[in-house]
Structure 1
Amino acid sequence: MSAPLAPAAVFVGRFQPPHAAHVATVLHALKRASRVLVLLGSANLARSIRNPFSAPERAAMFGAALREAGVRRGRVLFRPLPDRFDADLWAADVRAAAAEVFGPEVPVLLVGFEKDASTSYLRWFPGWERLPAPEVPGLNATDLRAAWLTRRPLPESVPQAVRAFLTRFARTPAFVRLQAEWAAVETARAALPPGAHLQEERWLHVQAEQVWLHTRRGPIGHGLWELPGRVLPPGERPAVPADAVFDHPARALVAPTAAHVWLGPPPGVFPSRPVPLARALALPRRFHEDHHVILTRLLGRV
């Protein structure tokens, strides 16, 4: 009779950047699991103040921090995980990644703790055993990013390997752009009424294997492609119903914003230019916020 398969663990997060609580969680999981698969979320989104690091950069930081903690190579695997802004599609991606790495028969432990709504995904995998993670009070990546982008001292709980990477990155032009975006987002948020939920109008025009896009020029998402259109002033709504609405609460940087999207050419007041559709589809991290997700989701309706 064959021996039962050793369990494997899946740990999902953005890890922007990895910190001591993330390392402690993996160490905790390795006490129960033979291997841990770390899925690096938001891998399809452009560099921004919410997601400043690419999936390879996060894998390098996290892997180095784990080696500092004594974890041998091969026990922890890293894979990118795109944001779908759809819970069912996203959960299917997680399951598919685990099956590809571990095989369909290996029992899976889902690692995490429910600290807020962002970890409600722990309830979306009823076939997997949950492995609660140790919580480190007062430590989160949001505050860490704020300290880093404003050049305040980093918490002592930042692993040395991560600290070294952040120091090197702070000498790059990308860091300067992120600092400008941080300041612009803070200014934009301060100008909004408390609890503001915004609306935006966008147009998706595809013709002759080209898609019409606009290149952002302001400090928020500078240089990225977006669907032509605009964000409406607070309290204002589109005059006519759109062909589709995208309203995931985490899709926009400044405030919760519902994107009302029409299929067809944008009004002339919104500048845009044709980009080969194949090129646009191949470059998701060239798009602002979730505009590449919107493009791919609606292509079947164009």
Structure 2
Amino acid sequence: MLAALERHAHLLVLPGSANLARSVKNPWSAPERVRMIRAALAGAGADLRRVRFAPLPDEFDTDLWAAGVRAAVGTRDAVLVGFEKDATSSYLRWFPEWAAEASPVTPGLNATDLRRAYFTGEPVPDLPDAVRAALETFAHTRTFRRLRAEDAAVQAERARLAGAPLPLQEVRHCHVAGGHVWLRRRTGPIGRGLWELPGHRLGPGETPPPGARVFGHPSRSLVLPAVAHVLPSEGGGEAVPLAWALARPRHFLEDHAVIVRRMVQS
């Protein structure tokens, strides 16, 4: 961001996953991340009047997500600043209409490794003072303790499923009737208290049901890559007002709010 501000008059930052519940993958809401980024930039002497933030939801669909980015930017006269760390940076090549500018690589700066260290009590890499202070404060909250338990459960589940055929396969039921959608609450440490579509993971030898709608984005699952085969059928759970559910995507596990919206719109 500092490199971009050195070369350009204005910077637009799109904090992603703005519609997702807190998880070990996305521990902080978009407003919390904006506050940390603004504080870090201010600490580095940046002129915050030149920086604008526009939180961006995840769509778990490349074309829809890219369209959201283009709508937020609002012009073809833009420069995309970033660097390709790994496969997760492929989005930098999805906007050929914009100029591309490589930013300097900061050795040791990796959000995945930082989160792992943070939740396991290992030393956290060097961070801006404002960000370190925010993380230290967050570590004393009930939410942090819940996420730390979730992190341990995610790692244990990955170990248990080591060697399983990937992606994992699951069946989900999206029953909508009378202005309600049938959901159930998560009770385990992964996504505790969040709404999910009723369903189950397919076991060895089980085949996906015919006619199901497939949701298989590689990053949709917190544990391991998983494909959801969603049927517009009854599967248990309790009736929740559909309008209420659609207005509160951050109350849902993983991409389940996106699935409900797509199923209703189809």
TM-score tier, shorter chain, comes to: over 0.9
* Identical counterparts, % of pairs: 55
TM-score, normalised to structure 1, is 0.85
Change (3 A) 1:236 1:136: farther
TM-score, normalised to structure 2, is 0.96
The CA distance in 1 between the partners of 2:158 and 2:192, in whole Å, is 18
- Compute the displacement of 1:236 (Å): 4.4
Q: Does the CA contact (< 8 Å) of 1:199 and 1:258 recur in 2?
A: yes
1:67 aligned to 2:42? yes
The CA distance in 2 between the partners of 1:236 and 1:259, in whole Å, is 16
What are the residue-to-residue correspondences of 1:155-234 with 2, within 5 Å? 155-156=125-126, 158-194=127-163, 196-197=165-166, 198-233=168-203
The CA distance in 2 between the partners of 1:165 and 1:54, in whole Å, is 13
Residue in structure 2 matching 1:251, options 220, 227, 232: 220
The CA distance in 2 between the partners of 1:223 and 1:55, in whole Å, is 20
- Compute the displacement of 1:239 (Å): 4.8
Report the count of equivalent residues. Answer: 265
Match of 1:123 in 2: 93
- In structure 1, runs of 5+ residues without a counterpart are 1-25
Write the deviation string for residues 161-191 of structure 1: whole angstroms up to 9, x where unpaired.
Answer: 0000001101111001001101101110001
Structural RMSD (CA): 1.3
Match of 2:3 in 1: 28
- Compute the displacement of 1:35 (Å): 0.6
- Compute the displacement of 1:124 (Å): 1.1
Residue in structure 2 matching 1:43, options 8, 18, 22: 18
The CA distance in 1 between the partners of 2:211 and 2:194, in whole Å, is 24
Q: Which amino acid aligns with 1:28?
A: A
Residue in structure 2 matching 1:262, options 215, 231, 249: 231
Match of 2:104 in 1: 134
- Compute the displacement of 1:242 (Å): 4.0
- Compute the displacement of 1:137 (Å): 2.2
The CA distance in 2 between the partners of 1:200 and 1:92, in whole Å, is 28
Match of 2:52 in 1: 77
Q: Does the CA contact (< 8 Å) of 1:246 and 1:258 recur in 2?
A: yes
Match of 2:259 in 1: 294
1:55 aligned to 2:55? no
The CA distance in 2 between the partners of 1:258 and 1:243, in whole Å, is 11
Q: Does the CA contact (< 8 Å) of 2:180 and 2:242 recur in 1?
A: yes
The CA distance in 2 between the partners of 1:39 and 1:272, in whole Å, is 35
Match of 1:285 in 2: 250
The CA distance in 1 between the partners of 2:216 and 2:265, in whole Å, is 20
Q: Does the CA contact (< 8 Å) of 2:169 and 2:208 recur in 1?
A: no
Write the deviation string for residues 45-74 of structure 1: whole angstroms up to 9, x where unpaired.
Answer: 100000000000000001000000000221
Q: Which amino acid aligns with 1:179?
A: R
- Compute the displacement of 1:195 (Å): 6.2
The CA distance in 1 between the partners of 2:142 and 2:211, in whole Å, is 38
